[in-house]
């Protein structure tokens, strides 16, 4: 047990969770008070003592599943389980009563045709029958995934194969149809939506069962440590903007909101506190009146640094679009910390999009408008930094003043067009600060058609900004 826990903690640390020694000891102590056969309690005991940040909970859960999935009687891998068979017989019994023709077939789940499985799955989803769903998940993984011991493919491949055979999207349609029939006629819009939510929730649950089942089998095949390594996913704040999958994008979006709130609170506090200035003579004398003229309480001047004015110029072509989106979202979420924010987007043409954010409470909607409405294509819709910068300088260059900070976002992959780096030099001479944020890893800079070095020499700094953590760090420095 101790070995297993040590491996578990080790894996948590590898996944990026900060587990300190005392927390580890706490976990050990906590386990003494928990009945070891109670899996849920066991999990929460470990979670409460070792995971102190909700964003890390998912990573913890994955590792937990891998390390402790095989323990517990209901997770037998052996085929032809007794509970499953019992359930199957019960189901047959039901069908016979309903006069269903298939009911008189004998045998166990293994002998069913795929159509029958689909039929059973549908009725299980319809009634929200958890046990049946779990049994079916097992069955379909066994049948469709085609798992072979020792085969070097990831769990996602098996998952894809299983899901393709089950056609769950079509299932949702069928379920909706069935419930419409049940009511006899049309559902109102509200009911429709509720039913749909209900079913997609159940289908999600079923998908999770399948994933868990695949994981269990893989762990049995390869062992926990090897498995944990393949399943290791970056924490939300470490996900790279440029390679985020759709799920990761979702979790990034979720992580962004609390982050902006924290950032705004921190910046406001930084502005208010700290830095003590020189003695404020007038104020001290005024307050001395209440002590009978004795200056008992010295007052100080607090410097109030001017809020910077911000111009964001972002490349929104294909690969770096996600990065630009997140940066814009972050900047606008904390725009109270700046005196003025103007934003421009470009691919090979450039357009100002400040107005989209004005009077729009919902930042996500504004970003959507930026992506669809902004006039950013000049010739062919391939990034041309040189031309975009030139036009920027012509049209908006006069607005740059000594208070302005200019943020340039992009990977500087210029498709071998002219760089026009002189524009950046000109901007630098007028603006307070010019920064370049690059979502590419540093080792890729200046390779191929990336000319970030050409531009970088004229800025106050080029920063690698691959994930939320780095972006947050930079923005905090900025304000």
Partner 1 sequence: MAHRFESVQQVRDGLRDVNYLADDGISGVAFLADRLGKPILVEGPAGTGKTQLAKSIADMTGARLIRLQCYEGLDESKALYEWNYKKQLLRIQADRGSDSWSDIHDDIFGSDFLLTRPLLEAITADDPVVLLIDEVDRVEVETEALLLEILSEYQVSIPELGTITAKQIPLVFLTSNNTRELSEALKRRCLYLHVDYPDMEREKQIVLTKVPEVSENLADQIARIVRSIRQIDLKKAPSVSETIDWARTLVLLGIEHIDAQQAKDTLHILLKYQSDIAKAAKELSVDK
The site map against partner 1 for 263-282 (x = CB under 8 A) is --xx--x---x---------
Q: Which is nearer to partner 1, 261 or 282 (CB)?
A: 261
Among 96, 262, 275, 395, binds partner 1 (CB under 8 A): 262
Give the CB-side neighbour count of residue 292, counting CA atoms within 13 A. 0
Burial class (CB in 10 A: 0-12, 13-18, 19+), 409: buried
DSSP 374: -
DSSP 13: H
Q: What are the tokens at 340?
A: 């003025």
CB 320 within 8 A of CB 439: yes
Q: Which is nearer to partner 1, 40 or 148 (CB)?
A: 40
Q: Which is nearer to partner 1, 45 or 320 (CB)?
A: 45
Q: What are the tokens at 431?
A: 């603006």
Q: What is the dihedral of CA 97, 101, 105, 108, to 10 degrees?
A: -70
Question: H-helix or E-strand containing 372?
Answer: helix 363-373
Phi, psi values for residue 78, rounded to 5°: -50, 145
Q: CB count, 10 Å around CB of 404?
A: 19
Of the candidate spans 32-40, 241-249, 320-328, 422-430, the one that interacts with partner 1 by CB under 8 A turns out to be 32-40
SS3 304: coil
Should residue 41 be labelled a site residue for partner 1 when binding is judged by CB under 8 A? yes
Rounded Cα–Cα distance for residues 475 and 479 (Å): 7
Among 1, 2, 40, 292, binds partner 1 (CB under 8 A): 40
The site map against partner 1 for 313-352 (x = CB under 8 A) is ----------------------------------------
SS3 93: helix
Among 6, 13, 20, 336, binds partner 1 (CB under 8 A): 20
Should residue 83 be labelled a site residue for partner 1 when binding is judged by CB under 8 A? no
Q: Which is nearer to partner 1, 333 or 427 (CB)?
A: 333
Q: CB count, 10 Å around CB of 424?
A: 23
SS3 348: coil
Q: How far apart are CB 268 and partner 1 at their closest, in Å?
A: 11
Should residue 48 be labelled a site residue for partner 1 when binding is judged by CB under 8 A? yes
Among 9, 12, 15, 45, binds partner 1 (CB under 8 A): 45
Q: Which is nearer to partner 1, 3 or 40 (CB)?
A: 40
User: Which residues in the 184-203 window bind partner 1 by CB under 8 A?
Assistant: 188-190, 192-194, 196-198, 201
Among 30, 220, 242, 249, binds partner 1 (CB under 8 A): 30
Q: Which is nearer to partner 1, 40 or 74 (CB)?
A: 40
Among 49, 383, 414, 438, binds partner 1 (CB under 8 A): 49
Among 4, 57, 160, 289, binds partner 1 (CB under 8 A): 57
With contacts defined by CB under 8 A, how many residues of the chain interact with partner 1? 42
Q: Which is nearer to partner 1, 221 or 360 (CB)?
A: 360
Q: E strands, 207-349, where?
A: 309-315, 340-346
Going from the C-alpha of 188 to that of each of 126, 173, 178, 200, 352, the distances in angstroms are 19, 16, 15, 18, 43
**CA-based nearest residue to 31, from 18, 21, 20, 41:** 41
Of the candidate spans 45-53, 295-303, 392-400, 458-466, the one that interacts with partner 1 by CB under 8 A turns out to be 45-53
**CA-based nearest residue to 225, from 1, 77, 66, 39:** 66
User: Which residues in the 242-261 window bind partner 1 by CB under 8 A?
Assistant: 258, 261
Of the candidate spans 3-11, 17-25, 75-83, 429-437, the one that interacts with partner 1 by CB under 8 A turns out to be 17-25
- Give the 3-state DSSP-derived string for 404-472, with helices as H, strands as E and coil as C: EEEEEECCCECCCCCCCCHHHHHHHHHCCEEEEEECCCHHHCCCCCECHHHHHCCCCEEEECCCHHHHH
Of the candidate spans 182-190, 289-297, 380-388, 403-411, the one that interacts with partner 1 by CB under 8 A turns out to be 182-190
Opening angle at CA 155, ends 152 and 160, nearest 5 = 115
Q: How far apart are CB 183 and partner 1 at their closest, in Å?
A: 13
Q: Which is nearer to partner 1, 90 or 197 (CB)?
A: 197
Q: Which is nearer to partner 1, 31 or 478 (CB)?
A: 31
Should residue 407 be labelled a site residue for partner 1 when binding is judged by CB under 8 A? no
The site map against partner 1 for 352-391 (x = CB under 8 A) is ---------xx-x---------------------------
Q: Which is nearer to partner 1, 78 or 190 (CB)?
A: 190
Q: E strands, 305-409, where?
A: 309-315, 340-346, 350-352, 404-409
Should residue 131 be labelled a site residue for partner 1 when binding is judged by CB under 8 A? no
Number of alpha helices (DSSP H) and beta strands (DSSP E) in the chain:
20, 6
- Interface contacts to partner 1, rule CB under 8 A: 18, 20, 22-23, 26, 29-30, 33-34, 38, 40-41, 44-45, 47-49, 51-54, 57, 188-190, 192-194, 196-198, 201, 258, 261-262, 265-266, 269, 273, 361-362, 364
């Amino acid at each position: 047990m101790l070995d297993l826990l040590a491996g578990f903690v080790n894996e948590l640390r590898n996944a990026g969770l900060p587990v300190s020694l005392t927390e580890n000891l706490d976990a050990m102590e906590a386990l003494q008070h928990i009945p070891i056969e109670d899996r849920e309690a066991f999990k929460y005991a470990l979670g409460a003592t070792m995971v102190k940040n909700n964003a890390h909970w998912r990573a913890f859960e994955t590792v937990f599943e891998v390390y402790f999935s095989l323990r517990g009687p209901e997770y037998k891998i052996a085929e032809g389980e007794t509970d499953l068979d019992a359930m199957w017989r019960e189901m047959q019994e039901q069908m016979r009563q309903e006069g269903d023709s298939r009911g008189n077939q004998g045998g166990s789940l293994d002998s069913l045709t795929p159509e029958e499985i689909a039929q059973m799955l549908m009725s299980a989803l319809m009634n929200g029958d958890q046990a049946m769903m779990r049994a079916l998940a097992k069955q379909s993984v066994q049948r469709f995934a085609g798992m072979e011991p020792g085969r070097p493919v990831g769990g996602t491949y098996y998952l894809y194969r299983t899901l393709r055979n089950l056609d769950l999207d079509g299932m949702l349609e069928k379920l909706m149809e069935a419930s419409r029939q049940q009511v006899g006629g049309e559902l109102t819009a509200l009911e429709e939506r509720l039913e749909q939510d209900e079913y997609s929730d159940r289908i999600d649950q079923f998908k999770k069962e399948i994933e868990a089942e695949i994981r269990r089998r893989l762990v049995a095949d390869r062992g926990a440590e090897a498995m944990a390594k393949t399943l290791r996913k970056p924490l939300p704040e470490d996900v790279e903007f440029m390679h985020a999958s759709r799920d990761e994008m979702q979790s990034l979006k979720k992580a962004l909101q609390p982050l902006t709130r924290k950032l705004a609170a921190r910046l406001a506090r930084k502005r208010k506190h700290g830095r003590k200035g020189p003695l404020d003579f007038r104020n001290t004398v005024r307050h001395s009146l209440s002590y009978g003229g004795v200056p008992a309480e010295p007052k100080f001047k607090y410097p109030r640094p001017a809020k910077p004015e911000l111009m964001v110029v972002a490349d929104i072509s294909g690969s770096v679009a996600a990065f630009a989106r997140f940066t814009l979202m972050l900047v606008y979420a904390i725009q109270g910390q700046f005196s003025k924010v103007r934003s421009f987007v470009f691919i090979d043409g450039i357009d100002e999009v400040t107005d989209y954010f004005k009077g729009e409470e919902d930042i996500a909607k504004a970003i959507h408008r930026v992506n669809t409405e902004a006039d950013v294509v000049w010739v062919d819709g391939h990034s041309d930094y040189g031309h975009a910068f030139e036009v920027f300088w012509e049209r908006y260059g006069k607005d740059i003043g000594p208070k302005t900070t200019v943020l340039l976002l992009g990977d500087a992959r210029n498709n071998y067009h002219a760089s026009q780096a002189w524009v950046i030099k000109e901007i630098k001479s007028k603006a307070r600060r010019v920064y370049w944020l690059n979502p590419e890893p540093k080792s890729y800079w200046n390779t191929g058609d990336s000319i970030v070095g050409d531009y970088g020499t004229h800025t106050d700094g080029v920063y690698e900004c691959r994930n939320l953590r780095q972006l947050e760090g930079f923005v905090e420095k900025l304000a």
